A and B are shown apart, each in its own frame.
Chain A
Amino acid sequence: MVIEIKEAEQTIVEVKGEIDISNVDHLGSALQKAFTRSPTGFVVDASGISFIDAVGLRTILSAWRKLTTQGGVLALVASELIKKLLEILDATSLPGLVICDSVHMAIETISSGAYGSEGCSQD
């Protein structure tokens, strides 16, 4: 797993590789760092994740929970696997969690504030 926190227009946490309980704590602390920098919202680019399980998803969803309690938003760039798992967990339409197909869209969505139940803004 490789994690990179990028500071551009928005804070972006880029995660690549396989996530399981052996390394999920690194993801947790990276997300915590991002939260400290941008408590109103940031982007998690999970499109490069090749494997993730319930523990990993829970860690991401914990970050979302923290953000929403403060009125923030989490834009998640998800792979097909993650989308499917979120569906299974009934976690696709959580308030404050925006699931996007690309980093570009995710940044735009957060910046514009145009997010809601309709999800990530489409081009």
Chain B
Amino acid sequence: MTNVSGKLNTKYISKRFPVWTGYPVTLILIAAVTALLHALRPVFPLAQFPIPYILVTMLVAYLFGVGPAILAFLVGLFVFDYSFTAAVYEPRVHAVDIRLAGITAYLLGASIVAISMVLISNSKRRIECIAEELRRSQEDLNRAQVVAKIGSWRLDVQHNKLYWSDETYRLFGIPIGTPLTYETFLAKIHPDDREYVDEKWKAALRGEPYDIEHRIIVDDDVRWVRERAELEFGKDGEVKSAFGTVQDITDLKLAEEARVASEANYRAIFNAANDAIFVHDPETGIVLDANQKVMEMYGYSPEEARTLTIQDISSGEPPYTQEEGMQLVRRAMQGEPQIFEWKAKDKNGRIFWVEVNLKKAIIGGQDRVLAVVRDITDRKQTEEALQREQEHKLQFYRQTIMAATDGKLIITERSEIEHLAGTSLAVWEIHQPDELRVIRHEIEKVAESLGMAQDRVCELLVASGEAITNAVKHAGGGLVSVHKTDESLMVVVSDKGPGIPALALPEVALRRGYSTTGTLGMGYKIMIQLMDRVYLATDESGTVVGLEAKLRRSDISASPGMNRVLCI
């Protein structure tokens, strides 16, 4: 609009006539007028006045503007003066005065008329420019409305007219230009929303704000629109005018609905879980979200749980601390899921055992660490009770077994056997059954070098053979070593097999009478009978057997046998 209020823009003239055409047309017009006047002069004396030239100047000023007007003025003056005034009055005495008066009249008349015509012409062009600008801005607005999917409307109460923008028509699926009433508008609204919109509009008429979202039906399709309106009220509260916008928000609504549905699904799953779930910030470990189960397990409502630190939900006694927790979080962030048992603390300070599964997750586009927490207090208690019971049983077995074997079979710990064994003289590894023979002979050499009597060497070899056979058979091999203390020789056989279950121990040690159920029992019977003492340490990580043969005075004094056949 600014260029309309400024200087005249000549480009609009050129729409009708190019600017330069004004000059030849002016000359033609002056020539035509002059010819006409010459023709008329004999019969019409008034043709001597300059009025026709002034009229030409006027016309040119109106049609072409200032330049051609000046040309018309000057040429008109010259022709008028030369062909009429000068020619008519020159012979007379008083001709000079009359000529001067004629020229003056021409000048005055032509000037006033030309100036006023230029002014009129300018204002007319200015109005045209304004109208053009308005048309353009209307076009721009329409285009903007199409792009933004926003239509507008205006209610003119004074003239009782409702105007819709083209886009509003399009949004409502009504042909552009269709005459409108409030009822036309209501009819397009989704039946379920009609009453609501009607109520809101009536409320708006009473002065309440009008900003609503509702559905409309366009070609059997449901669309969502957002409507806003501003109403102007008169002194007595009557509506004078109203302006409103209609925005198509169908896509927005569908996306929002999908988001809400997915959020609701996520929440439902989150809260339905049997385990407590924390969402941790991977940098600080702070709890960002927690599910309903957290309330049950920790006593914190999901709202309270947010902002809790790892320290807040851990017992705090090493290693159940913030630092340790953060290390596990970092490891989980590196992509290795962490499953561990943790001593947790609830809101009231109660300490309880949980099993935690830490896993990296991306939630809402952010890196997070999910902690799925299960209360294992019951399991822990059961485990502890079982362990205690197991220990009691083992204790009972040990004592019973020791008593039943006259103190010869001692169930103990491997460290105890290592402690009792004394100085190590030799160690062999065994994997295959065919290595048994070699090791027997090696043990034989050591025992003989210590001066052990022949029959006792034989017994030691048979007992050792049983222990080593067990290691090969049940554990795929192991280590055999010979040790010596001041008073005894000890063969230790250790393996990494599954161990002898506690319940099998009585069978191994106590069974009387011959049984073919297993050589394990037979082997132990032989070891116990042949040795002075048998130490046994066994658990899931393996079995250690210590075979102790006391060195007797007779052993030491006996001379080593020469070329003996083993055990005979």
Q: Which of A4-12, A58-66, A105-113 contacts B (4 or more CB under 8 A)?
A: A58-66
On whether the beta carbons of B566 and A51 are closer than 8 Å, the reply is: yes
Query: A53-B462, A55-B519, A81-B568 given as contacts; is B440 within 8 A of A89 (CB)?
Result: no
The total of interchain contacts (Cβ-Cβ below 8 angstroms) comes to: 74
Asked if B44 is at the interface of the complex by the 8 Å CB criterion, the answer is: no
On whether the beta carbons of B566 and A50 are closer than 8 Å, the reply is: yes
Contacts of B469 in A (CB 8 A): 20-21, 53-55
On whether the beta carbons of A20 and B513 are closer than 8 Å, the reply is: no
Asked if B434 is at the interface of the complex by the 8 Å CB criterion, the answer is: yes
On whether the beta carbons of A20 and B529 are closer than 8 Å, the reply is: no
On whether the beta carbons of A88 and B437 are closer than 8 Å, the reply is: no
In the complex, what's the smallest C-beta–C-beta distance from B362 to chain A, in angstroms? Answer: 59
In the complex, what's the smallest C-beta–C-beta distance from B533 to chain A, in angstroms? Answer: 16
Asked if B461 is at the interface of the complex by the 8 Å CB criterion, the answer is: yes
Option from A21, A54, A81 in Cβ contact (under 8 Å) with B458: A81
On whether the beta carbons of A53 and B523 are closer than 8 Å, the reply is: yes
On whether the beta carbons of A58 and B568 are closer than 8 Å, the reply is: no
Asked if B442 is at the interface of the complex by the 8 Å CB criterion, the answer is: no
On whether the beta carbons of A51 and B440 are closer than 8 Å, the reply is: yes
On whether the beta carbons of B522 and A54 are closer than 8 Å, the reply is: yes
Contacts of B526 in A (CB 8 A): 53-54, 85, 88-89
On whether the beta carbons of B567 and A89 are closer than 8 Å, the reply is: no
Looking at chain B's contact residues, is the secondary structure mostly helix, strand, loop, or mixed?
Answer: helix
Asked if B445 is at the interface of the complex by the 8 Å CB criterion, the answer is: no
Contacts of B523 in A (CB 8 A): 53-54
Asked if A123 is at the interface of the complex by the 8 Å CB criterion, the answer is: no
In the complex, what's the smallest C-beta–C-beta distance from A15 to chain B, in angstroms? Answer: 13
CA distance A61 to B519 in the complex (A): 12
Query: A85-B526, A89-B514 given as contacts; is B436 within 8 A of A21 (CB)?
Result: yes
Option from B433, B530, B567 in Cβ contact (under 8 Å) with A22: B433
CA distance A18 to B469 in the complex (A): 14
Contacts of B458 in A (CB 8 A): 81
**Which residue of the partner chain A has the closest CB to B519?**
A54
CA distance A22 to B469 in the complex (A): 10
Contacts of A79 in B (CB 8 A): 567-568
On whether the beta carbons of B567 and A21 are closer than 8 Å, the reply is: no
Near B by CB (< 8 A), chain A positions 44-93 give 50-55, 57-58, 61-62, 65, 79-81, 85, 88-91
Contacts of B437 in A (CB 8 A): 18, 20, 22
Near A by CB (< 8 A), chain B positions 496-541 give 512-514, 516, 519, 522-523, 525-526, 529-530
On whether the beta carbons of A57 and B522 are closer than 8 Å, the reply is: yes
Option from B434, B461, B522, B530 in Cβ contact (under 8 Å) with A51: B461
Residues of A within 8 A of B (CB): 18, 20-22, 50-55, 57-58, 61-62, 65, 79-81, 85, 88-91, 94
26 A-B contact pairs sorted by A residue (CB < 8 Å)? A18-B566, A20-B440, A21-B433, A21-B469, A21-B473, A22-B436, A22-B437, A50-B567, A51-B462, A51-B465, A53-B462, A54-B519, A54-B523, A55-B469, A57-B522, A58-B519, A58-B522, A65-B516, A81-B567, A81-B568, A88-B525, A88-B529, A89-B522, A90-B512, A90-B513, A91-B514
The 4 closest A-B pairs by CB, nearest first: A22-B433, A54-B522, A50-B566, A22-B434
